[in-house]
Amino acid sequence: MTSKTKKDRINEIDLLRFIAAIAVLVFHYAFRGHAYNDLSVMSYPWITPVAKYGYLGVQLFFMISGFVIFMTAANANLRSFATSRIVRLYPAFWACCTITFIAILFMGENRFSASIVQYLANMTMLSEFMNVPSIDGAYWSIFVEIRFYILIAVLLAFKLMRHAEYFMIAWLLYTAKVALYGTDLLSIYLISEYAAFFIAGASFFMVWKKGPSIIRIVTISLSFTLAIYQSLKQAAILAPVFKQEVNTIIIIAIISSFFLLLLLSVTRKTGVIGRMNWTVIGALTYPLYLLHQFIGYMTFNLLYEKVNVHLLFWGVMASMLILAYAVHRVVEIPLSTSMRQILQPRSQSPERASTD
């Protein structure tokens, strides 16, 4: 690896992705599945006080996405950007959606079901826009991501990426307006509930690429304030749903840590952690996120009364990591390579923080 390649890569992004994925997995397995909708018969109260905050891992995913998508789009045109998203998302999604569908057919029992029509609609990755239920509940965040990709695609289509920072400010101000005065017709398209995280990640990319500036510092500061506000508002909604109180100080500390970790990463203040190669675990996160939830619940439901609860909990976590690695190696890598050659034979190599 050349010195330039090292300079153009932020190794910490892969580690942060993995931390976010594990946080969500622990939230689902140790808390959400048993606490709401009776999806899982198994509870794991030993780590519930920590696990109940794991849903915030999705917010970290959105921050990372803001960073990486801006990096991908910085030197791209609309075609190359669209190709990068298709190649990045579809191969693992097709494999994981298929595996989950088969698992539901064999293990779903009364709690989980899926039809072939539902499966085929899900395979397009557009099922939400067709009002078709997702094969796995974890897919909801993908539809949020797709809306973000569309916004970036619009900027690329009109050759406005050089003015993207001003778009971010306008988007942030709109999001603040929605937070204070309520949603409107644009809210769903401008993903106002999570926009502050995407905007923060994009601004951190600009700091990494071009250095700090007044506009970037202000944007990150306002994003941080709005992210805290919206996270506390979300927690107030979720607490009665899950019948669990949450500590506002802990939520503020977690969101603050996301911003601090990205700040340390883009300013290269993470020491030995930033010099380590986290590529493998970073590559696991997407298939792990897609696979873990419903397959995990179904496994718990089948084996809860037959297997030691600790062995079952940690064994399923380990199994999901192994399955995610298999999907990455056996399906994602070869299929992504073939698709890229077909869709973009003379592909460029834009700057990348990690697997985009």
For 173-221, the pLDDT digits (tens) are: 999 999 999 989 899 999 999 999 999 999 999 999 999 999 999 999 9
End-to-end CA distance of the chain: 18
pLDDT for residue 32 is more than 70: yes
Q: Is 171 exposed, middle or buried (0-12, 13-18, 19+ CB in 10 A)?
A: buried
Q: Residue 67: name the closest of 167, 198, 201, 194 by CA.
A: 201
Higher pLDDT: 212 or 349? It is 212
Beta-carbon contacts of 332 under 8 Å, excluding residues fewer than 6 positions away, are 91, 92, 95, 283, 286, 287
Question: pLDDT digits over 233-268, tens only?
Answer: 999 999 999 988 999 999 999 999 999 999 999 999
User: pLDDT at position 344, please?
Assistant: 76
What are the angstrom distances between the C-alpha of 294 and each of 7, 40, 58, 83, 178? Answer: 39, 9, 17, 29, 33
User: pLDDT at position 346, please?
Assistant: 58
Q: Calculate what percentage of the chain has a pLDDT beyond 90.
A: 89
Q: State how far the Cα of 248 lies from the Cα of 43, in Å rounded to an integer.
A: 24
Half-sphere exposure of 223 (CA within 13 A, CB side): 31
Structure tokens at 65: 């996405």
Q: Are 116 and 34 in contact (CB under 8 A)?
A: no
User: pLDDT at position 7, please?
Assistant: 54
User: pLDDT at position 347, please?
Assistant: 45
pTM for this model (two decimals) = 0.94
pLDDT for residue 6 is more than 50: no
191: enclosing H helix or E strand: none
SS3 132: coil
Q: Residue 305: name the closest of 47, 35, 41, 36 by CA.
A: 41
Tokens 């990150």 belong to residue: 220
Other beta carbons within 10 angstroms of residue 86's beta carbon come to 16
- Per-residue pLDDT band for 285 (boundaries 50, 70, 90) equals very high
- Per-residue pLDDT band for 356 (boundaries 50, 70, 90) equals low
- Per-residue pLDDT band for 8 (boundaries 50, 70, 90) equals low
Q: State how far the Cα of 251 lies from the Cα of 194, in Å rounded to an integer.
A: 15
- Compute the mean pLDDT over every residue in the chain, rounded to the nearest whole number: 93
For residue 182, which amino acid is it? G
Q: Is 140 exposed, middle or buried (0-12, 13-18, 19+ CB in 10 A)?
A: exposed
pLDDT for residue 117 is more than 80: yes
pLDDT for residue 50 is more than 70: yes
Other beta carbons within 10 angstroms of residue 289's beta carbon come to 26
- Per-residue pLDDT band for 349 (boundaries 50, 70, 90) equals very low
- Per-residue pLDDT band for 163 (boundaries 50, 70, 90) equals very high
User: pLDDT at position 75, please?
Assistant: 87
User: pLDDT at position 37, please?
Assistant: 86
User: pLDDT at position 301, please?
Assistant: 97
What SS3 string covers 248-283? Answer: HHHHHHHHHHHHHHHHHHHCCCCCHHHHCCCHHHHH
- Per-residue pLDDT band for 345 (boundaries 50, 70, 90) equals low
User: pLDDT at position 283, please?
Assistant: 95
